[in-house]
Structure 1
Amino acid sequence: MDLEFYKNQALQKQKEHKKFLENLKKKPPKNLDYVVQEVHDEVFDEVDCLSCANCCKTTGPLYTEKDIERIAKHLRMKPADFEAKFLRIDEDNDKILQNLPCFFLNEDNTCSIYEVRPKACREYPHTDRKKIYQINNLMLKNTVICPAAFTFVEKMMKNLSK
């Protein structure tokens, strides 16, 4: 997967994508959630996350208290020890990874804690979400990181311009 290509495409199309997403927010089509789910499924039939894992290499998820408790239990650690070993508090007061790429990313791009991974990882890149226009800024950011998010916005533009 040519990440540089997708990143450059996404950066070149930021204005166009932003305008499209803003228009979705102003006048969402009645069947928007249905179209979103359909396009999401189509994109993930084409895009293999294991061939990329750019999200795990370049961005860290937020860890909720539930995430911390679940993962710590899975690793047979105390939540406080898990936090001390892997997390830090960022400028927004969120708990995030101390280092990237993600410590739990294996060499083959699989996740060593996949079954108990953080909620933010499970939901990424948020392309199957209801009322998708509520996360326009996040979606724009994700198009630069994630080929699937970029492809999703491109396909949404095609589908909704028919």
Structure 2
Amino acid sequence: MNELLENWEEKAQEKQKQNKQYLQKLQSKRGRGVEKLLPDLHEEAFSNIDCLQCANCCKTISPRFKPPDIKRIAKYLGMKEAAVIDQYLLMDKEGDYVTKSSPCPFLDSDNYCSIYPARPGDCENYPYTDSYHFFKRPNITYLNSTICPAVYFVLEKLKKELPL
């Protein structure tokens, strides 16, 4: 395992304030070329991290289930859309469908997703370490750095490459 990732959860908690400030500064400076660095940092992170060993995202947070996601999942499961909603989802205060419980009801005991081919778009794109969302949403990114080792890894590498 990469040295940067040793005790990453503890380090991420300790650096929350610092990371939030860094991301806010980065956002205010219009990314400072971050978008060009993200694909390589993303690849490096995932060459060191196996999501199936972690699955913190599936265990702790819920994606948003948009209507096309629900339709796709219902078809994949051979269920009606209303049945998927009734059995697995609820509407949050922002008006988005999210899972009724954590961990995600589609997460199997081996950390595989039972609906992987039909998973929600939020799951497919998470943890956003290779897209502009990484610095466009600083509050979400710094929170994700305490959930996902890849986000923590990319953020720490970025702070070394682009000190502010």
TM-score, normalising length from structure 1?
0.91
Residue 86 of structure 1 is matched in structure 2 by: 88
Residue 140 of structure 1 is matched in structure 2 by: 142
Residue 121 of structure 2 is matched in structure 1 by: 119
Give the deviation of 1:148 after TM superposition. Answer: 1.1
Structure 1 residues without counterparts, runs of 5 or longer: none
* 2:18 counterpart of 1:16: yes
Runs of 4+ residues over 4 Å off in structure 1: none
Correspondences of 1:31-110 after superposition (within 5 Å): 31-110=33-112
- Say which of 5, 8, 32 aligns to 2:7: 5
Q: Is the 8 A contact 2:26 2:32 kept in 1?
A: no
Structure 2 residues without counterparts, runs of 5 or longer: none
1:71 maps to a residue whose letter is: I
**Structure 1 CA distance for aligned equivalents of residues 13 and 108 of structure 2:** 29
**Structure 2 CA distance for aligned equivalents of residues 4 and 92 of structure 1:** 36
Other structure's SS at 2:98 match = strand
Deviations 1:28-78 (A, max 9, x none): 465321101111111111111010001111111110000000000111111
Deviations 1:62-115 (A, max 9, x none): 100000000001111110111001101112221111111111111111111111
- C-alpha distance 42-73 of structure 1, shift in aligned 2 (>3 A): same
1:31 maps to a residue whose letter is: G
| Percent sequence identity over aligned pairs | 40
Other structure's SS at 1:88 match = strand
**Structure 1 CA distance for aligned equivalents of residues 30 and 156 of structure 2:** 17
Report the aligned-residue RMSD: 2.1
How many positions carry a matched residue from both structures?
A: 161
Other structure's SS at 2:137 match = helix
TM-score, normalising length from structure 2?
0.90
Q: Is the 8 A contact 1:87 1:98 kept in 2?
A: yes
**Structure 2 CA distance for aligned equivalents of residues 74 and 152 of structure 1:** 33
**Structure 2 CA distance for aligned equivalents of residues 29 and 74 of structure 1:** 39
